[in-house]
Every structure is written in structure tokens, then in C-alpha cells.
Structure 1
């Protein structure tokens, strides 16, 4: 059985005990826990449409979602500036390092595409990481012309030294969302990411990319 699944179940049991403590809305056994789960799912699925600024005057959901996603990105960027006492030039530095640590060596373009950057911006970030000695270029065993980027021991060290702060920033960005809300948000954002990633890195100008994306919705 997956450890992540066991961890999620334990977290749910903990939420159940905390919410039920002193209220006795459900019996403290498997039946009560099951009833609580079913009630939580029902409340989530039957939730009413939220309110947002401008809704009454005709502002549609597409517009507010775009605005909120942009705002969340800016909040995350602000929190990341305090990480490592400015050892990182931007959050992109440690995001690239984490990507290489978890996924292994990649070509420059694979790494840039993974982080959804334009080529010019991604190259600047990679070059900066190379200058710091946090990543290095290595030749491919199959094709010597192909260069791979991989994290160095120095890169692992700087990540490890600042990982508590990185996790703290991530925790703050998630804010006051409950575990069930976090899982729902992951599912929704993953669905959106899959949709956009399927054509985002085509060699198209912005106008053509927008038209293709729009047609796929129809």
C-alpha cells in the first residue's frame, strides 16, 4: 500500500477527531468517521457559487480566476524573496534546483520547458546557476553533442541549507486551506496544467498559441 495514501488517511482521521472533539456530532468509531467523510464530500459537491468583486456588474468567472492566479503568483514571489537571506536571486533559482533534484539531469530545453519559461529567460537562469556552481553541464553518453544539466553537490547543499525556509514559504502560500481543499486544488490545477502544457511549447507566436488554445475549448 502506498505510504502517501496511509499518510492521507491518518491526516483525515486527525481532522475528524479535531472537528468532532467536544461536539460529538459523530460517534468516535469507523461508522462515525465514514459518516463524516460522506458529509464532507456532500458539502463540497453542493457548495454554492462563490461571490467575487464585479460579479453583480457582469464580471465572469474566467476573468476573476485569471486575476486570482496572477495574484497568487505574486504572493509566492514576495514570500520567496526572504529565503536564504538573498542567496537566491529569485524563486526560479531554487525551483530549477528542486526540479533537477527530483527529476534528474535534463537538457537545457527540457529544463526550461518543465518550468514553463521562454528560452531566453530560462537560459539566463541556467547560466546563473552554473556560475554559482549549483549545476553543471555534462555530455550525453549517447550523443556527445547533447549537453545535460545536472545539480552538483554544492547545489544539493544550498538546497538543503534553505529547505526549511522554502517549505515555510510553500506552507504560507497554501494559507488556511484544509487538507481536503488542498487535494481539490491540486486536482484542479493539475487538470489546467495538463491542458495548457499539451500545446504551450509549440513553436508558435502568442497569437497563434491563443487561437489554438481557444479552439480546443470549442
Structure 2
């Protein structure tokens, strides 16, 4: 029975709660609160991880600390998503996920400067410029000089680009469903809420350029984020 260890842990925790409050009948709501309080400051249980060995227990404990584990899993999720997106873009002029997102962003604007698009697409200037170059070469995007600043160029999606996007949307819908896996509707709503909360937090720092170095990262963590 694969879940025996978990069941044993739950029974042990119920017994611990009964010892703390022997005269009180335990409800599911009461036990849930106890469990959350119990796990608040603890390191996550180390579950089997196909990528990790077991030769350094201390390193595993660091990897499975709650914040580190969340970061690791988000990185893995982004890589799975990119893999699925690349499959969906096969046999199209779009080479990378960034090509798709750049074109999709342009579709919602009459036009943007190249710099604006690169920022909206969360890219570095070099890689963002390369994406735009590919889209222009494929006749999916048009460009022209800014009337007031000839050093700046504006870009817009073409009819061909718009037509391509609508055809790709069908496969991208499948990508979205694949990424969310077998989560229930309630789980999807919860995950969407939490991810949007993280997006709002990180987008603020991206736009304000508050984290430009390792020291900026360290100082912000020490000064602004809760220690627990």
C-alpha cells in the first residue's frame, strides 16, 4: 500500500492533537488548522525525485525547503510548457514560445515600438530583437520609422500574422489544457489566483527595475519579505 506512510503520519498527528487537547472532540476543520500550524515552519517531506540521488542528504534538505521547492517546481513547469508550445508550433513560421507570445501581444495593440514589445514579452533586448527580426522576415509583422524619432521603429501585426495566430490558437488551447493536467476546476481556480498574485508581484519589480544585481536580490529579501 503506497499511502501507508502518509496514513501513519496522519494517525500520529491526530494522536498528538488529542494529547494536547484531551477533552476536545477533533473535527476535520480543527485538525486542518492544527496541521497547517504544524507544517508552517517545517521543511517539506522529501519525496522520491527522479532527478536527485541520495548521496547528500543536506543538499536534499536545502532543495526541499518550501520556497526552494516552489521555485524548482515553477522552473520545471515552465520547461514543460515550452516543450508543449514548441510541439504546437510545428509546421508554422513560429520557432519559439516567445515568437508566439510576441505576436499575440501585438495582436492586442494597434502598434508598439520594438522596445515596448520586448518589455511586454519579458525579454532581454538581444533575444527580443531576434524574435522581432524573425516575425518581420516571415511577413507576420510590419515595421516603420517613428515620425518623431527616426531612431525608433514601430511594429504591428499583419493580416497574415493575424490569420496564423487564429489557426495556432486551436493547438495552444490544447497546450493550456495539457499544462493544467488533471487538476479539478477548484484546483485550477486556486492555482490561477496564486499565479496571478505572483505575476503581479514580479511584474512590479520587473517594471521598476528593482532587482538589477545579486546584492539587490539579497537586500530585498532581508528587508522586505517575511522571514517565515
Q: Calculate the TM-score normalised by the size of structure 1.
A: 0.68
Report how far residue 179 of structure 1 moved: 2.0
Which position in structure 1 is the counterpart of 2:225? 217
Unaligned runs of 5+ in 2: 1-28, 49-59
2:144 aligned counterpart, secondary structure:
strand
> Which of structures 1 and 2 has the larger relative contact order (alpha carbons within 8 angstroms, sep 6+)?
1
CA-CA distance at 1:123 after TM superposition: 1.0
Which structure has the larger Rg over C-alpha atoms?
2
| Post-superposition offset of 1:163 | 1.6
2: CA distance between counterparts of 1:119 and 1:138? 19
Partner of 1:60: 65
1:208 shift after superposition:
4.3
Q: 1:181 aligns with which of 172, 187, 212?
A: 187
Q: What is the Cα deviation at residue 66 of structure 1?
A: 0.5
User: How do 1:54-203 residues align onto structure 2 when only pairs under 5 Å count?
Assistant: 57=61, 59-87=64-92, 88-140=94-146, 146-201=152-207, 202=209
> Please, which runs of 5 or more residues in structure 1 have no aligned partner?
1-41
1:99 and 1:185 map into 2 onto residues whose CA distance is 23
Aligned residues: 175
CA spacing shift, 1:203–1:142, aligned 2, 3 Å: farther
Q: CA RMSD in A?
A: 3.0
Shift >6 Å, 4+ stretches: none
Q: Closer, same or farther in 2 for the Cα pair 1:68/1:125, shift >3 Å?
A: same
Choose the corresponding residue for 2:213, options 191, 196, 206.
Answer: 206
Length-normalised TM-score, structure 2: 0.65
Cα deviation, residue 143, structure 1:
5.3
C-alpha spacing 1:52/1:151, structure 2 compared with 1 (3 Å) = farther
